[in-house]
Amino acid sequence: MAATPPHRAPVPSGPADLARTRAYGPGPQLTVTSRPTRDGAILAVSGELDMAVSAGLRGCFDAALAQGAARVVLDLSGLEFCDSSGLAVILRAHRYAIADGGWIRLVGVQPRVARIILISGLGAVLPCYPSTDAAVDDLHAPGRATGQKLSESPPAARVDVTPRLGDAG
């Protein structure tokens, strides 16, 4: 008998559990506010996402996916820092959402976080939207998401990671 994937494990509470705020780490270092939408959930992340608190975000994704919210809008407008462990959580959630016929969409990616997303290559995988409303309004779009890839952002929002001549040495 095959084990149940972690994102499909039973969640003790009902759909109301999706509408809440959770804090992780000292200070709190990371805050995740979740709320359900008609076909998924919005997770608004603020603070700093690193190895010390990444399990908290993973738990929020797992809870949303286990409750049938395979379409998740990830609002990063309040996220000031993200390391590789945070990116791993987002990529894991993306894979699980796709396996369930859903997706993860990014909103409000700040320049400092955009840089690590671009360097990691996730900017080419996860569509970005200018606002939560735009991502939610696109929940029912047929076929591909209409959001831009982070690497295709308009010049005002683009993070230039190209080394400049004279920067070395």
Distance CA 110, CA 116 (A): 10
Query: What is the domain partition of the chain in residue ranges?
Result: 14-152
Strand order of the sheet with strand 20-24?
A: 20-24, 30-36, 40-49, 71-82, 103-107, 127-129, 148-149
Q: What is the pLDDT of residue 20?
A: 79
Amino acid at 86: G
Distance CA 58, CA 142 (A): 28
CATH code of 14-152, in short, is 3.30.750.24
Residue 52: Cβ-neighbour burial (10 angstroms; 0-12, 13-18, 19+): middle
Q: What is the pLDDT of residue 148?
A: 56
Rg (alpha carbons) of the chain, rounded to whole number: 16
Distance CA 77, CA 69 (A): 21
Identify the helix (H) or strand (E) that includes residue 41: strand 40-49
Q: What is the pLDDT of residue 54?
A: 95
Q: What is the pLDDT of residue 23?
A: 86
Could you read off the pLDDT of 43-71 as tens digits, one per residue? 999 999 999 999 999 999 999 988 889 89
Distance CA 139, CA 135 (A): 7
**Model confidence, pTM:** 0.74
Q: What is the largest CA-CA distance in the chain?
A: 61
**Could you say which DSSP state residue 23 is in?**
E
Residues of the chain with pLDDT under 50: 1-4, 7-16, 141-144, 152-169
Residue 72: Cβ-neighbour burial (10 angstroms; 0-12, 13-18, 19+): buried
Q: What is the pLDDT of residue 37?
A: 86
